[in-house]
């Protein structure tokens, strides 16, 4: 396929490179990054011209909308706009409708798996959009990831992503709180892990991404909390979850509490630029209010 790829940062660049390695023709554009080996267009609109699929990986909904305004008029009829950004549901649906109104197809397909998954081609895609668009994009999902789930119509991919990450933010906070409590109770961290990881408290945050250094599989905690998934990005996703909850009139008190904690951690403490599991040293240093 001829692929336009807009947004060649830490996630987009390796995704584009994996598509090129599989034999697809990729023309990219980014306002800052110029990754090795990716042919670059002069602007986003040029990257979209003559493309069978245009992939976007962008920071937020406002930028996605601005880019869509530039590229949709340039896309051939029947081409697929495949947005892999994590944005609000409303913008995802507006951009999809904009593409459909122009005679194109659209998918919102945010990802899970982080920078490592993007490089290794093991991402999980949560996809919203039509069956036809999903069928066209499926070979690309198989190159860039290990799994894709068609979640329903446009916007449902974003809905799945923010619900998943709301759970993740809540469970990571709970895991960090529990380790900090175990420390104060004199419970060895390895013993704590051995019990919880095989008992009813197990979770991805505990078993696969343990926030305690030296415990469980290797995680960012073993690298001084250098981000695998940054606390800043967790805050972004939690805010999106609460924006969606407000729009849907959904009661999400733990989601709101997690949002408030990550906001304090990132904006008022030392969490900016650290992994989201760095909540553990935060709780270690604190006493009960």
Active-site positions read 161
| Residue 20: count of CB within 10 angstroms of its CB | 18
How many helices (DSSP H) and strands (DSSP E) are in the chain?
Answer: 12, 9
Burial (CB < 10 A; 0-12, 13-18, 19+), residue 119, is middle
Q: Determine contact, residues 11/115, Cβ cutoff 8 Å.
A: yes
Q: Which residues contact 167 (CB under 8 A, 6 or more apart)?
A: none
CA distance 228 to 250: 30
Q: Determine contact, residues 203/171, Cβ cutoff 8 Å.
A: yes
Q: Which helix (H) or strand (E) holds 259?
A: helix 253-267
CA distance 207 to 196: 9
User: Tokens 């896309």 — which residue?
Assistant: 75
């Amino acid at each position: 396929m001829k692929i336009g790829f807009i947004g060649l940062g830490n996630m987009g660049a390796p995704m584009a490179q994996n598509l090129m390695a599989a034999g697809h023709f990729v023309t990219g554009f980014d306002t800052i990054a110029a990754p090795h080996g990716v042919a670059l267009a002069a602007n986003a609109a040029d990257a979209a011209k003559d493309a069978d699929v245009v992939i976007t990986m962008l920071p937020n909904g406002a930028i996605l909308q601005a880019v869509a305004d530039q590229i949709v008029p340039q896309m051939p009829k029947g081409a697929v706009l495949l947005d892999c950004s994590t944005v609000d549901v409303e913008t995802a649906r507006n951009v999809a409708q904009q593409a459909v109104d122009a005679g194109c197809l659209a998918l919102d397909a945010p990802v899970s798996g982080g920078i490592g998954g993007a490089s290794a081609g093991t991402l999980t895609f949560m996809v919203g959009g039509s069956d036809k668009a999903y069928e066209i994009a499926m070979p690309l999902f198989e190159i860039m990831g290990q799994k894709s789930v068609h979640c329903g119509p446009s916007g449902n991919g974003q809905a799945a992503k923010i619900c998943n990450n709301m759970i993740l933010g809540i469970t990571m906070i709970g895991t960090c709180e529990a380790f900090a409590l175990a420390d104060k109770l004199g419970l060895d961290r390895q013993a704590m892990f051995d019990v919880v990881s095989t008992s009813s408290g197990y979770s991805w945050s505990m078993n696969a991404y343990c926030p305690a250094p030296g415990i469980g599989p290797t995680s960012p905690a073993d690298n001084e909390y250098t981000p695998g998934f940054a606390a800043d990005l967790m805050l972004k996703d939690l805010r999106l979850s609460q924006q969606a909850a407000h729009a849907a009139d959904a009661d999400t008190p733990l989601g709101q509490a997690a949002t408030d904690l990550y906001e304090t951690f990132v904006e008022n403490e030392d969490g900016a630029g650290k992994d989201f599991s760095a909540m553990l040293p935060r709780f270690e240093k604190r006493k009960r209010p």
